[in-house]
Amino acid sequence: MASADASCYTLVFEDPSETPTTQELRSALQKGSDEVKFDTLRKIIVSTINGNPQPALLMPIIQYVMPSRNKQLKKLLHFYWEVCPKYDDNGKLKQEMILVVNAIRNDLQHPNEYIRGATLRFLQKISKDAELLEPLIPTCRACLEHRHSYVRKNAVFAVYSIYREFEHLIPDAPELMQTFLAAESDATCKRNAFVFLAQCAMPKAVEYILQVFDQIPTMDELLQMSIIEVIRLDCKQETTHKARYILLISELLNATSHAVKYEAATTLTSLTQNPAAIKAAASCYISLVQKESDNNAKLIVLDRLDVLRSKHGHVLDSLIMDVLQILSSADLEVRRKAISIVLSLTSSRNVEDVVLFLKKQLQKTQDEEFEKAPEYRQLLIQSIHVCAVKFSEVAASVVHALMDFLGDTNNPSALDVVAFVREVVEKFPQLRSTICEKLTQTLPEIKSGKVYRGVLWILGEYTEEIKEIQEIFRELRKVLGEIPILASEQRLLEEASVEDGEEKKDDVKVETTKPKVLADGTYATESAFTSVSSARLEAIKAAAKPPLRALILGGDFFTGSVLASALTKLVLRYSELSKEKRKCNALRAEAMLVMASVIRVGQSKFVTVPIDEDSSERIMSCIQTLSELESAPAVHQIFLKDTKAAYSKMVAAQEKKAAEKKELEKAEAKIIQVDDLLTFRQFSKKAADDVIDDSEDVNRATGAGEVSEDFISNLSRISQLTGFSDPIYAEAYVKVHGFDILLDVLLVNQTADTLQNLCLDFATLGDLKLVERPSLYTIAPHSFQSIKATIKVSSTETGVIFGSILWEGPGMAEQCVILNDIHIDIMDYIKPAYCTEQQFRSMWTEFEWENRVNVTTTISDPREYLHHVMKATNMSCLTPEGALSGDCDFLSANMYARSLFGEDALANLSVERTETGNITGHVRIRSKTQGIALSLGDRITMAQKDNKPPV
C-alpha cells in the first residue's frame, strides 16, 4: 500500500527497559501457556504499532498462536493481523498470508457464532486488502444465512465494507441485500441491510420504504432512524414521493422513542413550511423537553425550538403556554432558555396570560424548599420587567406585585425590582402616584443599601404631591429612628452605664497579656486593656435598630448622601408647591437636621468606619442648597430637572440601541447584489427550512469544504525557520483552523550529500500539544521534502513552537540545526463579544487575574486611541456611543471579548489628555485565567509601539 493510504493507529507507551529480544518472544510463543502467549502477542502488537514490526515473528505466530482455541487469543490475533506488515518490499502479498487466509476461512465456518461474528468484524478492518479478501467472499456470503442474528448482522457490514472498496468482488451485493432484507426478521440485521442499501443503492432503499410504508410506525427504533435519514437524503434530490414522506414523518412524531421523535420533527421542518406541520414539530419538541430527563438534551431541543421560532414565530404563538410548562424543570439553564423563547413569542394577545403565569411562579419561589429559588426569582423578575416595559397594559398589574420583593434578602432580585420600578415610573407617568405611595410603605421592609439608594432616588424624583412628600418624611422618621442620631446613641450609652451602677465612675480596666512575634522573629509580651465601657459600646452598636439607621451606623455613607439628595429634592419641590411658609421652613429644618446628624455620627465612635470625604462633601452641598433656598434658583434646576432629564436620556438611548439591534437582526438576510453571478437556484422559491445534512456539517467542521486561500495571504503566514547558509533551509506555512494549527514545513537540502534518517522534531510551550510523532526521511542532494505537523490548541495563552532538525550526514555523523521559534498569534482565537453592564460588573468582581498596562503613545485623541486598542485586541466597546460623544479630555470605556474556548476577557481603558497634548492613563485587563490577561497585555504593549492610528 502507498504510505498515503496507510491506516492511522494510536501510539501506545512502550517501556524500552522492558522490551524483550526477538528470540525471547519466539521462545515464549513456542513454549508458553495461553496466558503467556497472550501477554507476548500483546507486546508484539504494541511494538508493531510503535514502528517496530518484527517480521521474523510472523511465522512463529502462525505456527504456535493461530492453532489455539482460546477465544481471547483469537481476538488478539485479529488485532495483530490488522497491524502486521502483509506485503513484502516489492508490494506483493507475503507467502505466509496464504496460511492466515486459510485460518480466517476456517473461523468463518466455525460452529461457535461468537468466533464467526468476531471474524466478520475483523474483515471490515482489512477491507482495503483485496488479495486477502477475494478467497473469503463465498464463505462471507454464506454467513448471511446463518441461524444466529449476531453472525448475520456482522456479515451484512462485512459485505458492505468489501463492496464499498472493491465492487467487483461482490457485484450483485445490492440485489443480495434486497433479498436478505425481505426475508430477515431480526431488527438489527434489517437495519444494517437497509443502511447498506442507503449508502450503496439509494433507489432500492426508497423502493423498500414504499413497500413497507404502512408498517414503518411500528418498526424498531434503529430502523426508523435509518429510514428518516434516507428520506432526508432522497429529498435533497427531486423526488415524486415527497407528499408520502411528509405523511410518514408526521406519523413518526408520535413514536415512543425520543430520538425518533426529535429526528422526525427536525426532518419535517426541512421538508415543508406548512403551518400545521411546523406547529406539530414544535409541539413535538415541547413534549420532548417535558419528558426527557437529561438536561443537555433539553437544551439541544430548546435550541431547535428557538431556531423554529425565529423563522416561524407567528405560527408558534398559540403554543406559548405549553412552552411555559417547561419552567417546571429543576435546571436553571433550561428555565432561562425557555423564558427567552417565551419572551420572543409574547404579543399583546397573550401577554396577560404570560405575566399571570410568571407571577404565580414568583409566588412559588417564596417556598423555602423550592430549588435554586433566589436565582429563579431573579430570572422571573427580569422577565416580568421585559414584558411590562414592552407592553404597557400589564405594567400596572405587575409593578405592585413586584414591589413586595423589595425587602427580599436576595440582593440581586431586589435590585432588579428597583431597576424595573425606575423604568416604569419614567415611562408611565399615570402610575407615578400609586408607585410612590407603595414605595413609601415598603421603606421599613428594605434591608439593602443599594435598594434604599434606588428607592430614595425614585421618591426624590417622581413625588409631586404635598401629601405624598409629608408621608415620605413620616416614613423616613420611622426608618431613621430618633434624630439627632449621635445624641440619641450617646444617651443610650449613658443609660446603660446608669443601669450598671457605674455612672461618673472611672472605667474598670482589665489587663490581659499575650505573646507577640516581632519582625526579627523574637517574642515579646503585649499588654491590652479591655475597657468595660468599650464592651458596652459594642453592645449598643449591636442592638436592634431601624433599617436605614443601621445602614448609616454600619458605615454606608453613600446611602446617607443619596438620602440627603432625596430630602433636598423633596424640600425644593414642597417649597414650589406649598404657599405655607411656616410648614416649608419646618420641613427644611428637619431635612437639614437629618443631614447634619448623618455627618456628626459619621465622625463619632458609634460608626463602624468614619464617613468618607466624598459623602461628607455631598451632604454639605445639600445643606448649603437648603440654607440658600431663595437665593440660588440655578441649583433648583439641577436638582429638580437635570437629573431626571439625564435618566430619561439614558432610557431613550437604551431603547434606541434595542431597536437598532432588532433592525440589524431583521436585516441579516443576505441580499443579492445587482452584479452578482445569477444561478438557477435563486429563481426557485425557498419552500422549507435548511435541510439538515450531516455530511456537509462534517466537511465544514474538518475544513474539507473550505475555499483555498489566495497565494498572497498564504505568503503572509510563512515563517522562516533556518538561515539561507544552513545545510538545510526550512520554512513553515502556519495555518490556524479552529482548535488546530497546521504546520506545512518545506525542507531544502542545500548540500551535495544524501541526508539519511532526517527527523523534524517539534516541541511546544504553553497550552499547545503536538498530535503526531515525527517520522524519519531521506532527502537526496539538492532536493525538497514537505512535512506536515498538526498541533492542538486548548486555550488562548500565548504559545511558542520551537524545535530542531536532526540527520545523519557523511560517515554516519549526527548533525543538527536549531529552528527559529514560531509565535502563535492569539488574535486568531479572540472574537469581539457583547454583554450587559450588570454581567460586566459581575465578571469584573469575580475574575482574579488582572494585568495593568500603562499608556505610552503619541496619539493625541483619546477616542482615536480607544479604536486603536480595540483593533489591536479584537475587543468590542460596551460603553454606549452617547457616553463617549462630546469634547472632553477624559475617557473611560469598558471593552469585552470572548475566545473560541469560551474564556471571557474584560478591559477598562481610563485615559486623559494632558495640557501638552499627550495621553496618559492605563488599560486594566481582567480574566479568569492568567494566560489571556497576559497575552492581551502583551498585544496592547506591542500595538503602542506602532503609534499610527488605525486607518
Q: What is the pLDDT of residues 849-901, one digit of tens each?
A: 889 988 888 888 888 888 888 888 888 888 877 667 777 788 889 999 988 77
Amino acid at 406: L
Q: Which long-range contacts (CB under 8 A, 24 or more apart) does 352-360 make?
A: 352/393, 352/394, 352/397, 353/320, 353/321, 354/320, 354/324, 354/387, 355/384, 355/387, 355/388, 355/394, 355/397, 355/398, 357/321, 357/324, 358/383, 358/384, 358/387, 359/384, 359/398, 359/401
CATH of domain 716-823: 2.60.40.1480
Q: How high is the pLDDT of residue 916?
A: 83
Q: What is the pLDDT of residues 618-653, one digit of tens each?
A: 888 888 888 876 666 667 777 777 777 777 777 777
Selection from 63, 140, 75 nearest residue 108 by Cα? 140
Q: How much is the average pLDDT of 106-116?
A: 85
Q: How high is the pLDDT of residue 848?
A: 83
Helices within 292-407 (DSSP H only): 295-311, 313-316, 320-324, 332-345, 351-364, 373-390, 395-403
Amino acid at 232: R
Q: What is the pLDDT of residues 917-948, one digit of tens each?
A: 888 899 999 988 877 888 888 888 888 776 55
Q: What is the pLDDT of residues 570-618, one digit of tens each?
A: 888 888 887 778 888 888 888 888 888 888 888 887 778 888 888 888 8
Q: Is a pLDDT exceeding 70 seen at residue 735?
A: yes
Q: Is a pLDDT exceeding 50 seen at residue 3?
A: no
Q: What is the pLDDT of residues 9-25, one digit of tens each?
A: 555 565 655 677 878 88
Across the chain, mean pLDDT equals 78
Q: How high is the pLDDT of residue 668?
A: 52
- 633 class by beta-carbon count within 10 Å (0-12 exposed, 13-18 middle, 19+ buried): exposed
If you search the block for the grid coordinates 510523532, which residue do you land on?
773
Single pTM value for the model: 0.64
Q: How high is the pLDDT of residue 908?
A: 92
Alpha-carbon separation of residue 681 from 173, 671, 677, 684, 699 (angstroms): 36, 15, 12, 5, 22
Alpha-carbon separation of residue 468 from 18, 153, 437, 439, 560 (angstroms): 91, 83, 7, 11, 21
Q: Answer whether 716-823 and 826-944 agree in fold.
A: no
Amino acid at 864: E
Q: How high is the pLDDT of residue 906?
A: 92
Selection from 146, 176, 79, 85 nearest residue 118 by Cα? 79
With residue 730 as reference, give the H or E element that holds it. Answer: strand 728-737
- The domain locations on the chain are 448-495+526-660, 716-823, 826-944
Q: How high is the pLDDT of residue 381?
A: 79
Find all residues with CB under 8 Å of 582, minimum gap 6, and list them.
none
- What percent of the chain is predicted at pLDDT more than 90? 2
Find all residues with CB under 8 Å of 825, minimum gap 6, and list them.
736
Q: How much is the average pLDDT of 133-150?
A: 86
Q: How high is the pLDDT of residue 5?
A: 46
Q: How much is the average pLDDT of 507-512?
A: 46
With residue 920 as reference, give the H or E element that holds it. Answer: strand 919-927
Q: How high is the pLDDT of residue 687?
A: 46
Q: How much is the average pLDDT of 112-128?
A: 84
Are 386 and 378 a contacting pair, CB within 8 Å? no
Q: What is the pLDDT of residues 834-850, one digit of tens each?
A: 888 878 888 888 888 88
Q: Range with the lowest mean pLDDT among 53-57, 282-286, 894-898? A: 53-57
Q: How much is the average pLDDT of 423-437?
A: 80
Are 885 and 936 a contacting pair, CB within 8 Å? no
Q: Count the alpha carbons within 13 Å of 909 in the hemisphere toward its beta carbon.
A: 29
Q: How high is the pLDDT of residue 568?
A: 87
Are 912 and 891 a contacting pair, CB within 8 Å? yes
How many degrees, rounded to 5, is the angle at CA 118 between CA 129 and CA 49? 55
Q: Is a pLDDT exceeding 50 seen at residue 762?
A: yes
If you search the block for the grid coordinates 443619596, which residue do you land on?
562
- For residues 242 and 239, give the distance between their C-alpha atoms in angstroms, rounded to a whole number: 6
Amino acid at 582: R
Q: How much is the average pLDDT of 22-31?
A: 83
- For residues 124 and 81, give the distance between their C-alpha atoms in angstroms, rounded to a whole number: 12
890 - beta bridge partners? Answer: 912
Alpha-carbon separation of residue 203 from 82, 156, 230, 237, 553 (angstroms): 34, 19, 10, 12, 84
Classify residue 93 by its DSSP letter. Answer: B
- For residues 831 and 897, give the distance between their C-alpha atoms in angstroms, rounded to a whole number: 6
Q: How high is the pLDDT of residue 4?
A: 38
- For residues 721 and 436, give the distance between their C-alpha atoms in angstroms, rounded to a whole number: 73
Q: What is the pLDDT of residues 766-796, one digit of tens each?
A: 667 777 767 788 888 888 888 888 888 776 6
Q: What is the pLDDT of residues 143-182, one digit of tens each?
A: 888 888 888 888 888 888 888 888 888 888 888 888 888 8
- 21 class by beta-carbon count within 10 Å (0-12 exposed, 13-18 middle, 19+ buried): exposed
Are 898 and 876 a contacting pair, CB within 8 Å? no
Please tell me which residue, 316 or 710, carries the higher pLDDT value: 316
Q: What is the pLDDT of residues 198-218, one digit of tens each?
A: 888 888 888 888 888 888 888
Alpha-carbon separation of residue 518 from 511, 513, 515, 525 (angstroms): 21, 15, 10, 10
Neighbour count for residue 188 (Cβ, 10 Å): 16
Please tell me which residue, 497 or 388, carries the higher pLDDT value: 388
Are 252 and 217 a contacting pair, CB within 8 Å? yes
Q: Which long-range contacts (CB under 8 A, 24 or more apart) does 63-67 make?
A: 63/30, 64/29, 64/30, 64/37, 65/29, 65/37, 65/41, 66/99, 66/100, 66/103
State the fold for domain 826-944: TATA-Binding Protein (3.30.310)
- 572 class by beta-carbon count within 10 Å (0-12 exposed, 13-18 middle, 19+ buried): buried
Is residue 252 very low, low, confident or very high in pLDDT (cuts 50, 70, 90)? confident
Q: How high is the pLDDT of residue 924?
A: 92
Classify residue 641 by its DSSP letter. Answer: I
Q: How high is the pLDDT of residue 277?
A: 87
Beta strand ranges found along 754-836 (DSSP E): 755-765, 768-770, 776-779, 784-793, 800-808, 814-818, 822-823, 830-832
Q: What is the pLDDT of residues 651-686, one digit of tens each?
A: 777 777 777 776 766 655 455 555 555 554 444 444
